[in-house]
């Protein structure tokens, strides 16, 4: 159990840790081991069974029967296995993987009362296996390897996480991410290109804006922002929660993302604002920001944030106005909280106002939330990362109109395309025009 971790607040309570090695190597090794095991074991154990119960001729053991013992009557008949004498015809698959004997295999109906251990030598068994059964075992190994490779190809198409060839993504005229060898390049602070190592180049989230037809008008209605629990958020967040709402692997990917984009700004001079913040902002430990302002719902959580230089308690669903001057911040971040905003246009307009020209907004989210407090169109499908990315992209597009440029979507989920079942992590970024 040392290789397992438990997360009682996650969709999967028990999660295996990340597997190592490229996807194709793990798949081929697994298929080879499985095919080899089935082929060899079936070829040997089937003949061991035959030697004990339906002995073939004396040449099975490479010797004649001992004098004075009953020599069973040898008959030649088509047979596929020791059970074929009972009228059971095998299927094609057992023949291919070497479990059954080939047609025209010599079997007997007699029973030799004692088979000594010395008689069961490997050489005799392998000699009796014959070319038919060995070919069947080899074919079984090949088929299983091909099946494993085909499955791996399917996994790569649906859940890829492997080095990719150079690829350029068209993002409907917006900041088109460029993928190269397992990463994604986006437009960052000041219009500079930033390479994101954890970016998944062929994820539906990364490609969410590829060939996307932007709506001409604001596409959402008041019903889109209804919530199951319309009660005061101050009461819901009254008790502090000193927890992380996404797992360690996902937060680690987000921290690495921040490291990549923050380093493009003048070190020791830039300012960061974290909206809907808490006791932790997931920034790098060595963040070189001159100012780190945070705003959230619980004052005890905000006071516990060691990276913050200032904090402000604010309910953006009641008053979306931000208490900061115009053009104050180089970066504005929001982690797994955009789905709770019931007035996103006003909030994003305020973000635009307090952002410096060329500044970068980073909105990240997962498939986790307090569903009673999340807006209706978001909880309709919590696993629709691409759909949620388009929602946030439209927030930027219309708040205000033309106020943001180089809108990009990136999937930095650590477990994407692997057996790791960690939380997904999706990011939408935009630059102030």
Cα separation values, 109 from 69, 116, 252, Å: 16, 19, 67
Cα Rg, the chain, nearest whole Å: 32
Residue of 57 and 281 predicted with greater confidence:
281
Q: How far apart are CA 369 and CA 33, in angstroms?
A: 41
Q: What are the chain's domains?
A: 184-432 (3.40.50.150)
Residue of 150 and 426 predicted with greater confidence:
426
Confidence of residue 179 (pLDDT cuts 50, 70, 90): very low
Q: How far apart are CA 182 and CA 178, in angstroms?
A: 11
Confidence of residue 152 (pLDDT cuts 50, 70, 90): low
Highest mean pLDDT (candidates 23-27, 102-106, 180-184, 389-393): 389-393
According to the model, what pLDDT value does residue 111 have? 40
According to the model, what pLDDT value does residue 176 have? 45
Confidence of residue 309 (pLDDT cuts 50, 70, 90): very high
Taking only the tens place, the pLDDT of each residue in 227-254 is 999 999 999 999 999 988 899 999 999 9
Residues 349-376 have a mean pLDDT of 97
The answer on pLDDT for 320 being more than 80 is yes
Taking a C-beta distance cutoff of 8 angstroms, is the pair 360, 189 a contact? yes
**340, two tokens:** 């709770």
Q: How far apart are CA 30 and CA 35, in angstroms?
A: 8
Taking only the tens place, the pLDDT of each residue in 110-119 is 343 444 444 4
Residues 184-192 have a mean pLDDT of 97
- Model pTM? 0.63
According to the model, what pLDDT value does residue 80 have? 42
Residues 180-206 have a mean pLDDT of 90
Q: How far apart are CA 347 and CA 324, in angstroms?
A: 13
Residue of 50 and 289 predicted with greater confidence:
289
Confidence of residue 149 (pLDDT cuts 50, 70, 90): low
According to the model, what pLDDT value does residue 159 have? 47
According to the model, what pLDDT value does residue 354 have? 98
Taking a C-beta distance cutoff of 8 angstroms, is the pair 422, 198 a contact? no
Taking a C-beta distance cutoff of 8 angstroms, is the pair 49, 42 a contact? no
Q: What is the mean pLDDT of the chain?
A: 76
According to the model, what pLDDT value does residue 41 have? 54
The answer on pLDDT for 70 being more than 80 is no
According to the model, what pLDDT value does residue 110 have? 39
Residue of 5 and 356 predicted with greater confidence:
356
């Amino acid at each position: 159990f040392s290789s397992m971790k438990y997360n009682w607040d996650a969709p999967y309570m028990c999660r295996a840790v990340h597997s190592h090695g490229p996807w194709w190597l793990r798949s081929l090794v697994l298929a080879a081991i499985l095919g080899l095991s089935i082929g060899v074991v079936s070829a040997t154990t089937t003949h061991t069974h035959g030697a004990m119960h339906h002995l073939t001729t004396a040449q099975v053991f490479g010797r004649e029967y001992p004098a004075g013992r009953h020599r069973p009557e040898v008959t030649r008949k088509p047979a596929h296995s020791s059970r074929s004498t009972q009228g059971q015809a095998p299927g094609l698959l057992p023949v291919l993987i070497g479990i059954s004997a080939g047609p025209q295999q010599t079997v007997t109906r007699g029973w030799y009362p004692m088979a000594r251990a010395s008689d069961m030598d490997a050489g005799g068994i392998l000699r009796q296996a014959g070319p038919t059964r060995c070919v069947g075992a080899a074919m079984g190994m090949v088929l299983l390897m091909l099946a494993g490779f085909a499955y791996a190809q399917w996994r790569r198409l649906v859940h890829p996480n492997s080095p990719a060839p150079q690829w350029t993504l068209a993002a409907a005229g917006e900041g088109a991410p460029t993928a190269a060898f397992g990463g994604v390049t986006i437009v960052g602070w000041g219009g500079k290109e930033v390479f994101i190592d954890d970016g998944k180049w062929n994820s539906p989230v990364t490609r969410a804006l590829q060939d996307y037809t932007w709506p001409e008008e604001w596409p959402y209605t008041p019903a889109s922002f209804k919530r199951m629990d319309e009660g005061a958020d101050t009461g819901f967040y009254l008790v502090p929660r000193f927890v992380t709402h996404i797992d360690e692997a996902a937060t680690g990917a987000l921290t690495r993302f921040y490291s990549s984009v923050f380093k493009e700004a003048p070190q020791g001079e830039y300012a960061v604002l974290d909206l809907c913040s808490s006791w932790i902002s997931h920034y790098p430990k060595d963040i070189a920001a001159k100012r780190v302002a945070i705003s959230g719902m619980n004052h005890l959580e905000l006071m516990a944030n060691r990276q913050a230089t200032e904090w402000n308690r604010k309910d953006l669903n009641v008053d979306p106005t931000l208490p900061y001057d115009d053009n104050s911040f180089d970066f504005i971040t929001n982690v797994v909280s955009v789905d709770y905003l019931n007035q996103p246009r006003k909030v994003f307009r305020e973000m635009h106002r307090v952002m410096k020209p060329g500044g970068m907004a980073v909105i990240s989210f997962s498939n986790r939330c307090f569903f009673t407090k999340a807006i209706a169109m978001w909880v309709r499908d919590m696993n629709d990362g691409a759909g949620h990315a388009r929602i946030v992209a439209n927030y930027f597009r219309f708040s205000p109109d033309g106020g943001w440029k180089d809108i990009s979507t990136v999937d930095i989920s650590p477990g994407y395309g692997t057996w790791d079942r960690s939380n997904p992590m999706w990011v939408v970024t935009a630059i102030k025009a």
